[in-house]
Amino acid sequence: MKNGISQHGIQFNLEVFGTKSKGWGVRSRSYIPHGSFVCEYVESTGADVFVIDATQHGEVGRFVNHSSPSPNLFLQSVLYDHDDVRMPHMMLFAKKSIPPKQELTYD
């Protein structure tokens, strides 16, 4: 999927914070409308294999926690700076409208 919206970078004031049970997490200081691009989940590569390893590299997206019962974000592979489908950017988008200060999670 090609997406011009995600090329403009993070548009929301995101903050990394300490959670009570999951270590670090991410929340927004402002309202995030449904469908909005939130941030990139940066991928790390090794030799001939492409993996997502957010524990070692990445930006704010590496601190977004997993939540299987009720995530408010979804991952979408996006091509925007090249046409190689083997190396998409993994982008996080709002699955629903998200109020300020709610932890951001994906499944």
Partnered with residue 54 across adjacent β-strands are: none
Closest alpha carbon to 64 in 1, 4, 14, 13? 14
Per-residue pLDDT, averaged over 48-67, amounts to 64
pLDDT tens readout for residues 36-46: 999 988 645 44
**Of 46-50, 53-57, 98-102, highest mean pLDDT:** 98-102
Q: Which residues 6+ apart lie within 8 Å of 9 measured at CB?
A: none
pLDDT value, residue 86: 62
**pLDDT reading at 62 higher than 60:** yes
**pLDDT grade for 51, boundaries at 50, 70 and 90:** very low
Q: Give the 3-state DSSP-derived string for 31-55, with helices as H, strands as E and coil as C.
A: CECCCCEEEEECCEEECCEEECCCC
CATH class of 5-106: mainly beta
pLDDT tens readout for residues 1-28: 444 554 556 788 999 999 999 899 999 9
**Of 50-59, 70-79, 94-103, highest mean pLDDT:** 94-103
Q: Which residues 6+ apart lie within 8 Å of 1 measured at CB?
A: 76, 77, 78, 79
Residue appearing with tokens 């959670």: 19
**Distance (Å, rounded) from C-alpha 43 to C-alpha 85?**
14
